[in-house]
Amino acid sequence: FSSDIWIDEFTEFIVLLRQDGAQFDWLLQINDNGSFIESQIITNTHNEAGLYHYIDADDFLNKWNNIATTYDGEYIHIYLNGELVQTGTLDGIINYDENNILYFGGLPMADDHRLNGKLDNISIWNTVLNQSQIQSYIATPPTGSETGLVGYWNFNEGTGTTLADQTSNDNDGTITGAS
């Protein structure tokens, strides 16, 4: 599993990505008033791991940053701008349900968890990207046809309420609350 996202101009606590049913399957968020990046995963063995990387929120002001996470069944990694910044351990398979909703930039049931900033080039993979692949996709975004790419949203629609998945998987989304 891998996820990759670009973010600019966030404030406070925000959910960047979250796969959610009755309980979340996995999430990536900036927590505690912007002081750390958090990646959490729940596995089929009901193990839950949270991995944290402390940041200086000022480093994110008026500057695009790339955050990537990977999980290979044993290790969780957080990459910031292509550099590995945190590693943790967890065993099991992600407790994933394809019918669960994927959220970007907030949760509809929590007004205080919504992004007041910008997102771009979000990708979700069913493979584990290595550091050189992450760095490559920072330099040149995916096209949508890469092996293992489950969904890729480049936010190039310009208008409307549909966020088009650039893969052939048709994981289109609905944009709400954007300006």
* CA within 13 Å, CB half, 167: 20
Q: What integer is the mean pLDDT of 40-58?
A: 69
The chain-wide mean pLDDT, for the chain, equals 79
Q: Report yes or no: 42 and 25 within 8 Å, Cβ to Cβ.
A: yes
Cβ contacts of residue 1 below 8 Å, gap of 6+? 26, 41, 70, 71, 72, 94, 125, 126, 127, 128
Question: Quick count: other Cβ atoms within 10 Å of Cβ 30?
Answer: 24
Cβ contacts of residue 158 below 8 Å, gap of 6+? none
User: What's residue 123's pLDDT?
Assistant: 93
User: Cα separations (Å) of 64 from 44, 79, 117, 145?
Assistant: 34, 14, 10, 25
* Burial grade of 17 (CB within 10 A; 0-12, 13-18, 19 or more): buried
Q: Tell me the one-letter amino acid at 123.
A: S
* Residue 41: closest CA among 106, 93, 111: 93
Separation between Cα atoms, residue 138 and residue 141, nearest integer Å: 6
Determine which helix (DSSP H) or strand (DSSP E) holds 139, and give its type and residue range.
Answer: helix 131-139
Percent of the chain with pLDDT over 90: 27
Is a pLDDT exceeding 70 seen at residue 23?
no
> Where is pLDDT greater, at 105 or 69?
69
**Residue 114 is encoded by which pair of tokens?**
């919504």
Is a pLDDT exceeding 90 seen at residue 95?
no
Residue with tokens 């929590």: 110
Report phi then psi at 80, rounded to 5.
-120, 115
